[in-house]
Amino acid sequence: MIKSRLFSSDSRLSDLITAHPSLLSLLSRLGVSLGFGDRSIADVCEDSGVDTAFFLLICNVYTFNNYVPSTAAILGTEMTGLVPYLEKSHKYYVEKRLPHIECHLDAIAQKLNGRIGKVFISFFKEYKEEVETHFMHEERDVFPHIRGLMAGKRDATYSIGEFIDTHSDIEGKLDDLLNIVFKYLPPQVDDDNVLDVVDDILRLSEDLKKHTFIEEKIMVPLVKHLENAILKK
Amino acid sequence: MKQRLLIVEPSELIIEGLKSILDGQIRFKVLEPEMGADQLDERLAATRPDIVLINPTLIGNVSRLRGEHPMAVVALVYQYVEREVLKHYDAVVDIRDSRAVIIETLAQALPGDTEAGKSNYELTKRETAVLVELAQGKTNKEIADALNVSVHTVISHRKNISHKTGIKSVAGLTVYAMLNNLIDESALL
């Protein structure tokens, strides 16, 4: 039922972006540059060296909240782009989104009474470190494991089960921050920084939810399948 | 929405009678009754009833309970109770009252909608006390000992605090406590 509404490869990429502008921030992470004119998704992907089915899978997951791709759909899609995509996303969050938010929070903290400002900003700094550690763990253990499996090698020291057991959510504290910023900051800091940072936090929070979703509902089933396939050999 | 009613009363006969009177009332949902007041704090923190119908002989100080749990408190009497004691209750139900009078008394005792909405989102004194301890980095067990309640009660309070503020992490709650001047720097480790 939902399938009919999902994007297809012969839609114009520009139509997809016009309908869902938030997808714009995904393009560079998926390896597609701007300036695609009126070409179809399939054409743009081909020119950019991106697998069209994979591109559509990610865009559809980001756009439709109820869309959970079936294992068959995941296994039927060329997935070599997954790890590079996840890595680029990490980089995007750590190097672009979080510093952006921090910049606004710094400006807000200046307006708060010294020690409250300090506690406020250190709350965010701790969160940022948690996110970085979380990503680092995935980049150090999980991604090389997947690359190995895709190359037909099985590293006996790691299995995706460990990831499933330890994967924690990284959006929770962002919701805390959101509540603090728009509900509990004193009225004297009511300025553009607060509004901007609320927008930024909401955007990042949504993005991270989808990121977690992709890891848990696409990456995990894929890796389980690859692990089993190699065991059977 | 149905108002959640907790009966606190030692007599099974009275409890069953009340349940049969309130059964089918669209305004009330009768919670599993408490036969004594020993576990009352825990029960209130866990179930957060809108209205409590309690036998005054079971508890000494009803004012303390009200400070900690936002709810209407109605006395259930079947013998003479001093006026001094009853003045701390929102209403009095006498077991000799008729069915209609009992229902009406309970309905009247309920806080108005706006007031209920307001008080439901304000932290109670007890929740604030838990929050202050929490912001100082104490564990649930340490907080339970400091406030002389069970760990279970502390957890219930924490759930309510997070539900009301929208903040779940201890670090976030610490910022909240500071912004609301509930703690100062000297209280932080």
ipTM of the complex: 0.82
Say how far apart CA B113 and CA B1 lie, in whole Å.
11
Question: How confident is the model at residue A232, as a pLDDT?
Answer: 78
Lowest mean pLDDT among A70-79, A82-91, B68-77: B68-77
B170, B178, B188: best to mutate for the A interface, most A CBs within 10 A: B178
Shortest alpha-carbon distance between residue A174 and chain B (Å): 10
CB B143 within 8 A of CB B154: yes
Half-sphere exposure of residue A63, counting CA atoms within 13 Å on the CB side? 20
The chain-wide mean pLDDT, for chain A, equals 90
Hey, what are B21's tokens?
């009177």
Strands B3-8 and B28-30: parallel
Residue range B1-30: average pLDDT?
A: 88
CATH architecture of the domain covering B123-187? Orthogonal Bundle (1.10)
Cα–Cα nearest to A94, from A133, A57, A58: A133
Residue range A4-15: average pLDDT?
A: 82
Question: How confident is the model at residue B90, as a pLDDT?
Answer: 85
Question: How confident is the model at residue B101, as a pLDDT?
Answer: 85
* A2 band by pLDDT with thresholds 50, 70 and 90: very low
Q: Would you call A175 and B179 a contact, using CB atoms and an 8 Å cutoff?
A: no
Of the two residues B55 and A230, the one the predictor is more confident about is: B55
Residue range B146-167: average pLDDT?
A: 91
Hey, what are A90's tokens?
């990490």
CB A3 within 8 A of CB A60: no
Question: How confident is the model at residue B117, as a pLDDT?
Answer: 43
* B61 band by pLDDT with thresholds 50, 70 and 90: confident
* B1 band by pLDDT with thresholds 50, 70 and 90: confident
Cα–Cα nearest to A11, from A41, A32, A38: A41
Percentage of residues in chain A with pLDDT exceeding 70? 98
Question: How confident is the model at residue B115, as a pLDDT?
Answer: 40
The residues, any chain, with a CB within 8 Å of residue B130's CB and separated by 6 or more, are: B143, B147, B154, B157, B158, B161
Question: How confident is the model at residue A58, as a pLDDT?
Answer: 94
Q: Please tell me if residue B101 touches chain A, with a CB cutoff of 8 Å.
A: no
Question: How confident is the model at residue A27, as a pLDDT?
Answer: 95
Residue range B14-21: average pLDDT?
A: 91
Question: How confident is the model at residue B12, as a pLDDT?
Answer: 92
Hey, what are A83's tokens?
């790890």
Q: A96-136 pLDDT, tens per residue?
A: 999 999 999 999 999 988 888 999 999 999 999 999 999 99
Shortest alpha-carbon distance between residue B101 and chain A (Å): 43
Residue range A174-194: average pLDDT?
A: 89
Q: What are the residue ranges spanned by the domains of chain B?
A: 3-119, 123-187
Partners of B92 in beta bridges: B75
The secondary structure element, H or E, covering residue B188 is: none
Domain B3-119, classified CATH 3.20.20.140, yes or no: no
Question: How confident is the model at residue B87, as a pLDDT?
Answer: 84
Q: What are the residue ranges spanned by the domains of chain A?
A: 2-67, 82-232
Q: B75-133 pLDDT, tens per residue?
A: 999 888 888 888 888 889 999 888 888 988 888 887 654 344 445 688 888 999 999 99
Shortest alpha-carbon distance between residue A74 and chain B (Å): 34
**Chain A residue nearest residue B169, CA to CA:** A173
Say how far apart CA A219 and CA A212 lie, in whole Å.
10
List the Cα angle A125/A136/A92 in 5-degree steps. 70
Helix, strand, coil percentages for chain A (3-state, nearest 5): 75, 0, 25
Question: How confident is the model at residue B63, as a pLDDT?
Answer: 81
Strand arrangement, sheet containing B72-77: B28-30, B3-8, B51-54, B72-77, B91-94
3-state class of B61 per DSSP? coil
Question: How confident is the model at residue A188, as a pLDDT?
Answer: 81
Q: A38-57 pLDDT, tens per residue?
A: 999 999 999 999 999 999 99
Instruction: Region of B143 please: left (phi>0), alpha (psi -120 to 50) or beta.
Output: alpha
Residue range A208-220: average pLDDT?
A: 94
Q: Would you call B169 and A115 a contact, using CB atoms and an 8 Å cutoff?
A: no
Strands B72-77 and B3-8: unpaired
Q: Would you call A186 and B179 a contact, using CB atoms and an 8 Å cutoff?
A: yes
Q: Would you call A177 and B172 a contact, using CB atoms and an 8 Å cutoff?
A: yes
Question: How confident is the model at residue B5, as a pLDDT?
Answer: 92
Query: Which residue in A123, A172, A178 is closest to B175 by CB distance?
Result: A123
Say how far apart CA A26 and CA A81 lie, in whole Å.
13
Say how far apart CA B48 and CA A170 lie, in whole Å.
30
**Among the ranges A173-187, B119-133, B175-189, which has the highest mean pLDDT value?**
A173-187
